[in-house]
Structures are given as structure tokens and as C-alpha cells.
């Protein structure tokens, strides 16, 4: 059925209402919360007036689009505000609580699209409002008499910000902005191309110059030749044909000289045009992307407006008394960064309310004010960075508890921990293996883990710091860039392929001799300044065909670094640096180990961009596995002590459903000389076991189709395979799981979080 014109209009109206009402509701919430802390006076009156207007508008629009339920609730709310406006009713805590919870109901109704006013939800929201109104009215005149006149002192000029912007701004759907930004970023390719073009033309001009030089250098020879030719032409006995041919030859020589001159001058013109073009393109595109980037800047309040209500509701639920303050909402940040930050901030706020802040009673016992303070402060660090601080005055993070759990999760041992500062121990809560363990579920409750918060902020190019003490509470300090900068990258050659390494991850590019590489505690390192940095071969890390460049005794090394550590990577060649536009690999390849995406070079070629955090995360592993080739080449005294890879023809089957784990395990095993085959689940593994002989199975537990326990059981039941050693490698750490593993018939049970390959190799070697 084709919708009629009026239907269409109604639909559009509804969409517009939904969008508009959302913002109005947000504003009402903000005003109500402000009223809570606002002393009586002109400002209070202004807020009441504003709130009244907003509610009135919501009610009006709701009626226009037949949203009976919202209208029914807004109406009594408006009445109450009218009383307040007339000063017949004071904005008591009770009243504000009622209004906030009512507007929350309105928001819910809007979200679920429930329009019917005759529903229990609607009735139960209306009832207390009407009751309050009933109670308030007869007292009206009295109340009014009590209300003191606003004092002049509090009459400061303070026009609420949202009103100023409203008329000068245009509403644009965020998705359109994103599209625009994407288009603008595509222009970087144009910029690169125009530069490429200039380079190509310049090269052509140089060639032409060479040509013309050799041509005109022989000018005197030409003259002589011409003279001789003329003479020959004049000689008697030459046929007319011969004479004509000679004439033409002379003409051609002249023509070529002229053409060459013209070609050179034309090429010069094109070269200079192309130069201008490249420059003006670069500056125009620069300006365009700068403007586009500014377009994406949004005040923090646009994303974080809901926080006060969120804090308030959560505090009520958990029986905590919290005063939340939020400042710096007008500071602008790229909306893409804001969107990424929001979840992280919500998570930290929830942590603070749930676990950081104590109940009022406990606070009193600890000698604190029963009302806790929680704040979000946003400040500019410098022009390009913004700092967000979430502070509470709760009980802080207990380093002892973190220690206990860190040991349990296997990310640190007691000895290491004893050497760490309390601060450093607390930072362990960002560690991913810890956050998956029970501890973190204790500290974090719902939402995303702190490890994900950490990762998210790091990918945004930001940092997060934790300061905590049991007296002063906890402060999370997050620093993020204001806008998403165009990434720059260095082109490197590895195994005759080109890759991009993000410039911001590169500390320096150096050259070392193989003798500079030395083994420390089982892995290979070099010195970079005063730092001992583990070193690896990038071609091995990426599993590329090995290139032997025995000729060069100097190794090209990039020192990569982030807060989590450093890693030196050996590459074949370090080429130029340039702007790179990161493009994702598309829906088929959402996540590839060590690769973030691709970028398009000037000539249209795609080049993979390396994922430095992946590299760093696996740094220790690589240095042992992948540096060996280098060592062999530069065999020095110290290096001779390194044990050679034992050659073995033992066959190991690795079963894991994640590719990264398969690659890692295979690399570990292969570097120790085992022949390794991989399977992606138990079913595939069992099939392989039927076909080929293996000496050992290393399997994960959680896998689709057939999990590790089932696989183990199946192997034990099979007559031929019954004695095959099986090692279970897993992140499941409970005693129960371990027992299940043993019950299934596993020979060893290896916990992933304590995944140190030397341990694994020891276990493997005890079986084969």
C-alpha cells in the first residue's frame, strides 16, 4: 500500500518529535539537577522558567503527534512547575526527586514508543504528580508569602549556554558528518597523487635535459655534417632523388632540434604547473580536512549529558549518597573520540559508585562526610589534548587485594610484586588477564572491563592513569587528543614487501651490527640509549618467506615503543615517511593479527599497516623465536652459547579456534624444531588424527563443534590414540576445569595467563 501524503507527514513528524524530545528531556534533566544545588534567587527562577518552557514544549509536541502517554505525564509536571514559578511551591528535594523520576519515565516511554495513556506505567507515573499537586495547592498562598524576594547579590549574569547555540546551529545527522569526513580523508590520496605526478614529470624533464644536452653538444659536428651534405648535394652526378633525400634528412635534423627545444620548454611549463597544482592541492586539502575536523568537534556535554542522571539513579539503587559534579562540558572534542570515550567513562563511573564509594554508614564510621563526592572534570591540557579526571573520595583500590588476584591470575609472582610500588600494583587492574578473573568482576561489576577501557583509550592515542589511596579515594586521569589526527607512517621493506609502521609508535630508526645483539635471560636484546630492548625479525613475526641478505652486515632496526614496553624490529629497508589513511580490510577480514588495515599509496598500491600494540603484546615471544636467524649470521662469542634449535621429527597437533593462538603456538613449537600441524576445532583435529600420525596434541578447551574436553575423551577412547599425550592449554583456571581436564584424560593442564613459552616447552619435552 502506498502511504498517503498525510501518512508520510505524520511519519516525518514523529521522527522529528523523537529527535527533538530526546534533547528536550536531556535539558529538563540537567535543569532539574542544577535546581537541586541552586540556592533561591534569580538564577533559580530562571531555571524554573526554563524547565517549565521545555516541559510545555514537550507536552505540545507530544499532543501533535498523538503521544498521549507523554502528554499525560508532562501535563501535571508542568502544573507543578507553574506553582514553583509562581513561588507557591519551593523546589524541595522531594519534589525534584519526583520530577526527575517522572522525566525518566517520559524518556522510557519515548524510547519504547508506548503512546497509550491508559497503561499502568503511565498511571503510576501520573499519580504521585497529581497527589503532589493536590497537596501543594491549598498551601499555595502561604507558600508564596514565605518565599523571600530574590536578593540582588545572587543576580549574576548567567545565561544558560544551550540557549545561545540553539538558533545558530543546524541539525545534521552524525552519519552524514562521518561520510563527509571519510570523503575528506579520501582526498589525502589525491594529495599524494598530485605529488607523485610532479615527481614523475620532474624526472621526465631531467631525461629530456640529458637528451638535449647530448644533442646540442654535438652542434659543431652537426654543422660539419650539414656542410658536407650540402657539398655532396651540390656534387655533379647526384640524382634528383638522392638530392631530395639529403634535403629531407637535413630538414628532419632541424625539425628535431626545434621539437626538442619545444618539448623541453613545454615540459618545464607542465612541471611548474604540476608543482603549483601539488602545492595548492596540498594546502586546499589541508585546509579542508582541518575545517572538516573542526566540524566534528562537539562539546563534551553532548555526549556526557546523561551522566548526572546515571550517577543519581545508580546511587539510589545502591543506597549511596553522592554529590556529582561535572565541569568542562563546553570543551570540544572530536565526536568520534567522544563516542569511544563514553563507554569507558560510564564504566569508570559505575566502578566508582559500585565499589569505590562506601555506603553512608561506612563513611561515617571511617570519619568521612556521609555524602560522597564524585566528579568529572574536563580540562584542556594544551591545544591538542584534553584531560578528563574522574575522582571519588571513596575507599580506593586495595593493592593487597590486587596482588592476591594478580598472583592467582598468574600475571605476576609474589617476588615481582614485592618489588613493585603500590601505585604500580594498582595499575595491574588494567591488565587483561587480571580483568577476566574473578577479582575484576568484583571490582567492576557490569559493563566493559578496565582492560578494554585501557585498550580503547590507547587506540585513541590517549593515556590513562590511576591514583588511589584509601584516604583520598580514587582518581582516573585520562588524556586524549582533541581530534583524530591524520596518521603518519614510515614505509619499510620486509621480505621484499612494503609495510607501513605508524610513526607515532616509532621511537627511532637505527642501524646495528649483529654483534650488538645479545641474549639476556633467554631472549635477544639490543641497547637503545640506556634501555635494553628485546629485538626480533619482522619477517619472521609476520611469517613471511625468509630473505637472506647476507651482504649487509648492518641491520636496519626500528625501535617501537608505547607505555607497555619497547621492541626492536629488524627490517630490510626503512623508506620515507608519509601521511597514511587507515582503511579497514573490509568485512571479510575484521581482525588480522599484527595488521591494523591498509593504506593506499600514491600510485594506487595497497600497503598493510602494522599493528604495533599486537607486536608489543607478543614482544617477548618474538624475540626468542624470531631473532635466531640474525644471531647465526653474526655469531659472536656470547652468541655461541645460544643453544641451536634441536632438530626433531616429532609431530605436534595444535588445536585452537583462534588464529592468533594457533600462529603463536605453532611458532613456539616450530622454533623448537617440532613439525606442527594446526586444526581449528576438535572435530577437525580428530579427523586429522585419524589420517596422520602425531606424537602430541596441544589443545584449547573452548572451541566450536567439539571442545577440548570432548576431543581428549575421544582420543582416550580410540584404541590407536589412547596413549597419545594431550596437553590442554586454556584460560579457564578454576579447579573444577582442571579436574575436568584430568578426568577427560589430559596429561597436562596449562593455564594461558601464565603462558610462558619456556614453561610450555618444558612440559612438551617431558612427553616427547
Partner 1 sequence: MNGLELDDFEMPEEFSFGEPLEIAEIPEELQGEILQRRSQELARPLVLNESVEASLDIAEFHLAEHRFGFELEQLKEVYTVGERTHIPCCPPFVAAVINLRGQIVTIIDLLSLLDIRKSDKQEVGFDKVLVFKHKQFNAGIFISEVIGARKIPLSSIKKDLFSSNDDHRFTYIKGVTKERLLILDVFKLLDHPKLLKLRSVE
Binding stretches for partner 1 (CB under 8 A): 186, 189, 497, 542-544, 583-595, 598, 600, 604-608, 657-659, 663, 680
Q: What span, in angstroms and rounded, lies between the C-alpha atoms of 574 and 508?
A: 11
Residue 452 or 642 with smaller CB distance to partner 1: 452
Residue 186 or 442 with smaller CB distance to partner 1: 186
Q: What span, in angstroms and rounded, lies between the C-alpha atoms of 350 and 663?
A: 37
Residue 264 or 585 with smaller CB distance to partner 1: 585
Q: How far is the CB of 544 from partner 1 (least distance, A)?
A: 6
Q: How far is the CB of 496 from partner 1 (least distance, A)?
A: 11
Q: How far is the CB of 450 from partner 1 (least distance, A)?
A: 18
Q: How far is the CB of 505 from partner 1 (least distance, A)?
A: 18
Residue 395 or 689 with smaller CB distance to partner 1: 689
Please give the angle made by the CA atoms of 205, 210 and 213, to the nearest 5 degrees: 120
Q: Write the Ramachandran bin of 745: left for phi over 0, alpha for psi from -120 to 50, otherwise beta.
A: left
Strands of 317-384 (E only): list them. Answer: 322-327, 332-334, 372-382
Q: How far is the CB of 590 from partner 1 (least distance, A)?
A: 6
- How buried is residue 723: exposed, middle or buried, by Cβ count under 10 Å (0-12/13-18/19+)? exposed
Q: How far is the CB of 448 from partner 1 (least distance, A)?
A: 12
Residue 85 or 583 with smaller CB distance to partner 1: 583
How is residue 625 written as a grid cell? 623465536
Is residue 279 within 8 A of residue 195, CB to CB? The reply is: no
Q: What span, in angstroms and rounded, lies between the C-alpha atoms of 113 and 464?
A: 39
Terminal alpha carbon distance of the chain: 73
Is residue 710 within 8 A of residue 697, CB to CB? The reply is: no
As a three-state string, the secondary structure of 266-315 is HHHHHHHHHHHHHHHHHHHHHHHHHHHHHHCEEEHHHHHCCHHHHHHHHH
Q: How far is the CB of 353 from partner 1 (least distance, A)?
A: 28
Q: How far is the CB of 301 from partner 1 (least distance, A)?
A: 31
Residue 334 or 539 with smaller CB distance to partner 1: 539
Residue 115 has phi, psi (to 5 degrees) of: -100, -20
Residue 270 or 600 with smaller CB distance to partner 1: 600
Residue 117 or 458 with smaller CB distance to partner 1: 458
Q: How far is the CB of 319 from partner 1 (least distance, A)?
A: 36
- How buried is residue 194: exposed, middle or buried, by Cβ count under 10 Å (0-12/13-18/19+)? buried
Residues ≥6 apart with Cβ < 8 Å to 259 = none
Q: Determine how many CB atoms are found less than 10 A away from the CB of residue 406.
A: 25
Strand partners, 509: 558
As a three-state string, the secondary structure of 540-595 is HHCCCCCCCCCCCCCEEEEEEEECCEEEEEEECEEEEEEEECCECCCCCCCCECCE
Residue 14 or 583 with smaller CB distance to partner 1: 583
Is 719 in a helix, a strand, or coil?
A: coil
Residue 102 or 618 with smaller CB distance to partner 1: 618
Q: Which of 335, 326, 336 is nearest to 302 (CA)?
A: 335
Alpha-helical segments (H) within 602-680: 612-617, 619-626, 628-633, 659-671
Q: How far is the CB of 342 from partner 1 (least distance, A)?
A: 19
Q: How far is the CB of 411 from partner 1 (least distance, A)?
A: 22
Q: How many CA atoms lie within 13 A of 264 on its CB side?
A: 15
Residue 26 or 622 with smaller CB distance to partner 1: 622
Is residue 461 within 8 A of residue 439, CB to CB? The reply is: no
How is residue 232 written as a grid cell? 655532396
Q: How far is the CB of 614 from partner 1 (least distance, A)?
A: 9
Residue 195 or 680 with smaller CB distance to partner 1: 680
Is 187 in a helix, a strand, or coil?
A: helix
Q: How far is the CB of 193 from partner 1 (least distance, A)?
A: 12
DSSP state of 428: G
Residue 38 or 660 with smaller CB distance to partner 1: 660
Residue 229 or 452 with smaller CB distance to partner 1: 452
How is residue 483 written as a grid cell? 581530534
Residue 190 or 377 with smaller CB distance to partner 1: 190
Q: How far is the CB of 704 from partner 1 (least distance, A)?
A: 8
Q: How far is the CB of 592 from partner 1 (least distance, A)?
A: 6
Residues ≥6 apart with Cβ < 8 Å to 61 = 17, 20, 21, 67
What separation in angstroms does the CA of 756 have from each of 126, 411, 624, 664, 708? Answer: 62, 10, 11, 11, 21
Amino acid at each position: 500500500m502506498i502511504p498517503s501524503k498525510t501518512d508520510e507527514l505524520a511519519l516525518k513528524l514523529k521522527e522529528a518529535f523523537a529527535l527533538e524530545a530526546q534533547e528536550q528531556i536531556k535539558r529538563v534533566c540537567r535543569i532539574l539537577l542544577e535546581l537541586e544545588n541552586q540556592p533561591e534567587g534569580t538564577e533559580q527562577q530562571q531555571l524554573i522558567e526554563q524547565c517549565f518552557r521545555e516541559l510545555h514544549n514537550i507536552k505540545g509536541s507530544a499532543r501533535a503527534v498523538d503521544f498521549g502517554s507523554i502528554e499525560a505525564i508532562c501535563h501535571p509536571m508542568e502544573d507543578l512547575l507553574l506553582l514553583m514559578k509562581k513561588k507557591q511551591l519551593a523546589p524541595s528535594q522531594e519534589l525534584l526527586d519526583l520530577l526527575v523520576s517522572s522525566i525518566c519515565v517520559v524518556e522510557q516511554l519515548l524510547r519504547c514508543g508506548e503512546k497509550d495513556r491508559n497503561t499502568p506505567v503511565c498511571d503510576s507515573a501520573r499519580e504521585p504528580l497529581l497527589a503532589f499537586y493536590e497537596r501543594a495547592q491549598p498551601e499555595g498562598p502561604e507558600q508564596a508569602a514565605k518565599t523571600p524576594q530574590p536578593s540582588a547579590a545572587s543576580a549574576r549574569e548567567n545565561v544558560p549556554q544551550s540557549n545561545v547555540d540553539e538558533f545558530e546551529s543546524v541539525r545534521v545527522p552524525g552519519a552524514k558528518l562521518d561520510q563527509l569526513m571519510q570523503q575528506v580523508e579520501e582526498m589525502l590520496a589525491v594529495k599524494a597523487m598530485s605529488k607523485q605526478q610532479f615527481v614523475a614529470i620532474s624526472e621526465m624533464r631531467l631525461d629530456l635535459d640529458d637528451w638535449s644536452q647530448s644533442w646540442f653538444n654535438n652542434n659543431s659536428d652537426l654543422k660539419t655534417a650539414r656542410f658536407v651534405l650540402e657539398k655532396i648535394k651540390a656534387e655533379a652526378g647526384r640524382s634528383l632523388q638522392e638530392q631530395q633525400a639529403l634535403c629531407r634528412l637535413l630538414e628532419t635534423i632541424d625539425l628535431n632540434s626545434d621539437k626538442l627545444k619545444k618539448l623541453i620548454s613545454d615540459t618545464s611549463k607542465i612541471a611548474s604547473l604540476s608543482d603549483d597544482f601539488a602545492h595548492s592541492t596540498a594546502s586546499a586539502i589541508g585546509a579542508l580536512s582541518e575545517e572538516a575536523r573542526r566540524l566534528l568537534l562537539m562539546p563534551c556535554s553532548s555526549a556526557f549529558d546523561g551522566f548526572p542522571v546515571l550517577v543519581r539513579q545508580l546511587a539510589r539503587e545502591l543506597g549511596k549518597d553522592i554529590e556529582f559534579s561535572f565541569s568542562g562540558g563546553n570543551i570540544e572534542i572530536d565526536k568520534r573520540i567522544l563516542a569511544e570515550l563514553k563507554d569507558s567513562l560510564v564504566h569508570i563511573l559505575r566502578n566508582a559508585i559500585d565499589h569505590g564509594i562506601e555506603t553512608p554508614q561506612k563513611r561515617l564510621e571511617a570519619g568521612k562526610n556521609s555524602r560522597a563526592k564524585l566528579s568529572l572534570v574536563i580540562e584542556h591540557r594544551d591545544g591538542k589534548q584534553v584531560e578528563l579526571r574522574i575522582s571519588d573520595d571513596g575507599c580506593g583500590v586495595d593493592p593487597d587485594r590486587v596482588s592476591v588476584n594478580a598472583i592467582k591470575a598468574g600475571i605476576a609472582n609474589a617476588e615481582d610484586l614485592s618489588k613493585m610500588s603500590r601505585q604500580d600494583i594498582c595499575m595491574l587492574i588494567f591488565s587483561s588477564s587480571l580483568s577476566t578473573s574473578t577479582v575484576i568482576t568484583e571490582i567492576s561489576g557490569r559493563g566493559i572491563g578496565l582492560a578494554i577501557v585501557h585498550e580503547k583509550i590507547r587506540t585513541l592515542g590517549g593515556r590513562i592513569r590511576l591514583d588511589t589511596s584509601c584516604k583520598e579515594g580514587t582518581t582516573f586521569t585520562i588524556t586524549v587528543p582533541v581530534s583524530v589526527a591524520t596518521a603518519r607512517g614510515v614505509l619499510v621493506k620486509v621480505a621484499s614487501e612494503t609495510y607501513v609502521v605508524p610513526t607515532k609508535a616509532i621511537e627511532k630508526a637505527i642501524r646495528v651490527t649483529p654483534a650488538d645483539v645479545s641474549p639476556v635471560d633467554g631472549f635477544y636484546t639490543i641497547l637503545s640509549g640506556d634501555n635494553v630492548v628485546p629485538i626480533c625479525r619482522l619477517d619472521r613475526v609476520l611469517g613471511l618467506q625468509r630473505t637472506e641478505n647476507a651482504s649487509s652486515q648492518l641491520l636496519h632496526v626500528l625501535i617501537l615503543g608505547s607505555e607497555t614496553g619497547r621492541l626492536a624490529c629488524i627490517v630490510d629497508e626503512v623508506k620515507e615517511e608519509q601521511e597514511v589513511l587507515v582503511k579497514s580490510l573490509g568485512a571479510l577480514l575484521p581482525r588480522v593479527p599484527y595488521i591494523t588495515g591498509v593504506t593506499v599509496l600514491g600510485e594506487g598500491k595497497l600497503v598493510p599497516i602494522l599493528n604495533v600494540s599486537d607486536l608489543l603484546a607478543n614482544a617477548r615471544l618474538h624475540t626468542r623465536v624470531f631473532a635466531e636467524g640474525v644471531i647465526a649470521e653474526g655469531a659472536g662469542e656470547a652468541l655461541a652459547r645460544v643453544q641451536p634449535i634441536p632438530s626433531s621429527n616429532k609431530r605436534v597437533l595444535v588445536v585452537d579456534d583462534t588464529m592468533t593462538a594457533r600462529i603463536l603456538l605453532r611458532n613456539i613449537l616450530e622454533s623448537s624444531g617440532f613439525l606442527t600441524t594446526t586444526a581449528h576445532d576438535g572435530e577437525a583435529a580428530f579427523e586429522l588424527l585419524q589420517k596422520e600420525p602425531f606424537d602430541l596434541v596441544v589443545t584449547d578447551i573452548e572451541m566450536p563443534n567439539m571442545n577440548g574436553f570432548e576431543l581428549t575423551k575421544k582420543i582416550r577412547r580410540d584404541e590407536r590414540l589412547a596413549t597419545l599425550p594431550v596437553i590442554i592449554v586454556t584460560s579457564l583456571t578454576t579447579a573444577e576445569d582442571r579436574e575436568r581436564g584430568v578426568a577427560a584424560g589430559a596429561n597436562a593442564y596449562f593455564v594461558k595467563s601464565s603462558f610462558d613459552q619456556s614453561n610450555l616447552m618444558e612440559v612438551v619435552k617431558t612427553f616427547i
